[in-house]
Structure 1
Amino acid sequence: MTDHGFGVVRPLPGNGLVAFEGGLLLVCDANESAANDLLDALRETAASGGDGRALARRAAQVLAANMAGDPATCAVAGPVGDGVAVLVSGSAAATIGTASGETRLAGSDSLTWADRLVTGPVERVQLSLPGAGSPHPAVRFEGGVVHGGGLVGDLTDQPAAPAPSRPLTSEMPATAFHIEADLIQPPPAPVERPPYPLADQPQAVQGPSSGPQPQEQPPYLPPQDQPPYPTPQEQPPDLPPQEPQPPYLPPQEQPPYFGPQEQPPPLPEPQQFPSYDEPPPSGNGVADQQAQQQHMGPPDHYDQPAPPLLGPPDHYEQPGPPPQEQQPDHGDRPLVYGVDCKNDHFNDPRVPYCAVCGIALVQRTLVPYKGPRPSLGVLILDDGTALPLESDYLLGRDPERAPEVAGGTARPAKVTSPDGSVSRRHLRVALDGWDVNLVDLGSVNGTQIQPPGDPNFYDIPPNEPVTIAPGTTVRVGVSRTLRFEAHRG
């Protein structure tokens, strides 16, 4: 986001009302009874320096006070850091474009309104009413309230910076030198020379030039105290004499190469010598074969068929599916690793005391095993509602229409507030093993936690799981709270 809010803002053609002030956007149906209240909320928020979260909260209060009939058709948006807070209601819609993709919100997805905090960096924001047209690229909206069907804020299309002004030519001082045309001499033509002297051409003797001549450098002479480098013909006296190398054999003196046509002669077949332990052949073929079998001993067991298998036949050879082991029925409770206390209470292996009876758990005498996870405690809302922590929950103003509830991965827990600070899908309570995690689902007004013994509340980041300990107080929106208790009776 920029200081201007949404970069270049363009209106969409339509019959509604569009407003842009202090970096905050608003579109609404011109026939809505709450249109004037929404415009007042926009002006007051911009005058007080509020951001998109404050505007969404004010708009939610206006919508909550005018819920006698159908939901009002409107949408608001405002920057929050490098992100944007958006609220849509009725038939309005919003599209937020970021580097990772687009997020679309529609008021028809909720019975009341839908709001979302989209983390940045944001590149494009569009709020539109039914029947809105396309923006004209030459039209820009600098602020105020006009007729239209929506607004588009494009941060990728920043207004071009004005070109720096410069004085006219007549006002500039005359700093150039005046030179007569007949005094201008053309530069001498370059003389082409070969890159190296030719052997059959004499080298031209160049005369002295008009400029300073470079001094000739004397040839490099080695220092007097060092011996000169040996030449290739001279060998230093301290080197050992070189041994003569064997003479090189020409190609015709090398042994012949056997090509593919010429193969070496085959080796002679190995002769069969009679064994001293075998009797000589008698001349009778049958007698010799019997004698050979008697000499070689009993026949090899590989030549005989395998003996039949002992014991009962395998159950997989019988028709029908193999029998399956009966698994204990734990219902829908997941299996986790834990330990039993002295009174056979299944516990988290990380805790020092039993969560049911409070007896000490001596870790050296405990053997972890996998068993059904018991209830991890209870969430107690400020109105007395108790939510047993046996599965995941989705808290919000309209949780029944959430995809997590429709998919069966979480139970709905309806939480509303008179100030409209609770989002439609606000918070998910996710159980992971023995841990209780909170995941803020990009709510506009956020979720805060107060750890046990700490007087302060801390914001949790959106869309990231945060593990809480027993005794933690959770604030949903602005005014609703709940407490995590781990006691299991």
Structure 2
Amino acid sequence: MSVSSGATVPPFDQVGVAIAPGTDLVVRVPGIVLVVAVEATATPAPAVRLGGWAAAPVASPPAVPVGDRRVGELVDLCRRVSAAGSRAPGRRLHEELRGWLASHSEPPSFAVAGATEDGLAIGLAGRGVAEVPDLGLRLTPQDGERLPDGTAFLDRLVDWPPAPLRLTAGAPLEMAPHPLADLMAGTVPGAAAVLTPAPSPAPDAPSHPASVRLPSPAAVPAGPDPAAAGTAMPPVAGTGVPPVPPASLAASAPHEQGPAAQARGPHAASGPDVVVPPPVALPPPLRAVSLSAPSEAEPPRPPLPIVSTEQPPAALVREPEDTRPRAKGFLCENGHLNDPRLPFCALCGVRVVQQSGVLVEGVRPPLGLLLFDNGATVSLDADYLLGREPEIDDRVRSGQLRPLLVVDQTGGVSRRHAEIRLEGWDVVLVDTGSANGTLVAPRGAPAWSSLVPGQPIHLLPGMAVRMGSRQFVFEFPHGGH
């Protein structure tokens, strides 16, 4: 399956919408932002006499908005299209707008933006304007076409700009949007709506190291490592790697200064409750023994196995009922099978020998880790279905996919939310049509991006994935490729 390079778009409903003060109307519903012009008129206040109330000074009454029926119909149209349930209602919004404009002469000025699968759908009429001031981009109804009644109307699909997008319906901009004014949903007065990309995922990222290396079972120390003070690696499911215990407090305590510390020596602990164990006496080294001198009889040892070049390494041996996935790659000097694109072994870290240039087939090792925000770690050695009820899927029941339960107290995770597929040596993520979408952010990205349902993307080392309020990071040993 090919992986689309444009399988992500900014998440429309996570984009901030700032409001500039004004008299027009700004409407935000899921997937749509509308700015529509509102006429205003002055209405004299009625003369009312009540006991105990003094007369107010005579002053001109403030302008009040006119209840235009066409404005209400346009707002209802946007709400109806949004309520249809699609996370990308832009194309349907254009169809509904054309039908509505065909039956109305002299529509109100408006500017509307709707989310599509790969960008934005812009609609402009009257004095409506869509512009990106930071990039010098601007669209008006005159850039579009003329309707049968002579109304200028622009209907265009555009890419998401990498800068704030401003929608106006003709009202003068007397003040810039307040930095704290962010419309999440609803209808408010305003002269403009400014759409700004979502914030960086860095503040909500899991508190895991930026790079994780899968240790070899033979390389895991049996006790605390003073060089890794205060850290602990959780066990990896299915690999038999035991957890590394955290270093002692004495190793991470600050060094004490002063003559008292020098008197106790460089290895003394700084706290009064820490007791330094006495040094262990090591046995003296063995003296050289003459080869001709008689020695005690040594018990017989089992014969060493005969190794020939025709015997394959253990990674290449296929058991009669071995159903583990296999792949072609290069072997390191320790017999570990590796992705041919990697210069170092993913298990032991030694350089992969590629002198022969011949790919060999063997059991494919795990292709990385999922590090969840609650500390859980999942080793990627099979295809997974993620969700709050993945076991209901027929592919899980048949064993084609392995279930991965993701519990979200906010209800933002669907029953069958997303799939993680292992295709060759690549890890692929696919949104299976979840209700709230799947967000991704490569390492160092300034904002989240939303997956297009059904379109797979490659997971890269350090990429963060968000489903509802839950989040995990994909990591690969030795930095991936």
TM-score, normalisation: structure 1 = 0.36
TM-score normalized with structure 2 length: 0.36
Q: Per chain length, whose mean CA-contact separation is higher, i.e. which structure has more relative contact order (CA < 8 Å, sep 6+)?
A: 2
